[in-house]
Copies of this chain bind each other. A is one copy, B any other.
Amino acid sequence: MKEVKADILLVEDDQNLGYMLQDFLEMEGYRIDLQKNGESGLTAFKSRQFDLCILDVMLPVKDGFSLAEEIHLINPQTPFIFVTAKALQSDRIKGLKLGADDYITKPFSTEELKLRIENILRRIGKQQENTHNNVFTIGQIIFDFANQVLQIHGEERRLTKKEALLLKMLCQNVNNLVRREQILLQIWGSDDYFMGRSMDVYIAKLRNYLKSEPTVNIVNIHGTGFKLEVNEL
């Protein structure tokens, strides 16, 4: 079950590029409506709400610029990105004047497009995936690293800095071993006997906090490290 990060209207007449982008963006967690010309693009836009539009400039039936104008007329809020093969200065300026939030020229990497989309969505306040917010779900428990808080069945439990750091490390490696020395070096700064004992104390504390979740366990791998085990149902 993946949460949809945002609804995107993609208008691109080049079949190959269109499908490729659709696939890529869907894999990134966006819901895509792919249209092949300006007119169907406009119809699609009218039919429901989108968080973002990606428009090719050269489109059959109705070009990207006039499409953008009409979209802007219908909903001036909606941000849009132009994609184009032409690197013409004048074209870029025309796009930006129309209020384009971004303007990228082919060839571009999907990585770049992804970052630009994320940037725009972040700015308009669309909630990004929580992974960047550092919110983890551990069984029924919600761990908000940024606020150092654990939500256990409605109850809030505040964590100390070290507790939070340690739990984050385990969460980032759910169901995977994290070696003692790695934890010690990263959180305690160095790996000696006493630091190690200190860490064990913290493991005990975390176990205590998580004990209400039977599907969640911090298991010890003798002589090696720990693993946060979460058994999905």
Contacts and interface: CB of A to CB of B under 8 A. Distances in A.
A70 to B, nearest CB: 20
| Chain A: number of interface residues, binned into ranges | 20 to 34
Chain A interface, DSSP helix/strand/loop, else mixed:
mixed
Contacts of A148: 177, 221, 224
B89 A147 contact: no
A151 to B, nearest CB: 13
Interface string A108-140: 010110011001000110000000000000000
B161 A222 contact: yes
Interface in A65-83: 79
Contacts of A93: 109, 111-112, 115
Interchain residue pairs A-B with the least CB separation, the first 10: A96-B115, A147-B177, A161-B223, A123-B123, A93-B111, A93-B112, A161-B224, A148-B221, A89-B109, A92-B112
Contacts of A119: 96, 99-101
A149 to B, nearest CB: 9
A47 B109 CA distance: 38
A227 B156 CA distance: 15
Contacts of A177: 146-148
Contacts of A109: 89, 93
Interface string A204-233: 000000000000000001111001000000
A2 interface: no
Contacts of A97: 115
A160 interface: yes
Contacts of A124: 123
Nearest to A116: B96
Contact of A123 (B92, B96, B101, B147): B101
B146 A176 contact: yes
A158 B97 CA distance: 31
Interface in A84-102: 89, 92-93, 96-97, 99-102
A139 B146 CA distance: 24
Contacts of A101: 119, 123
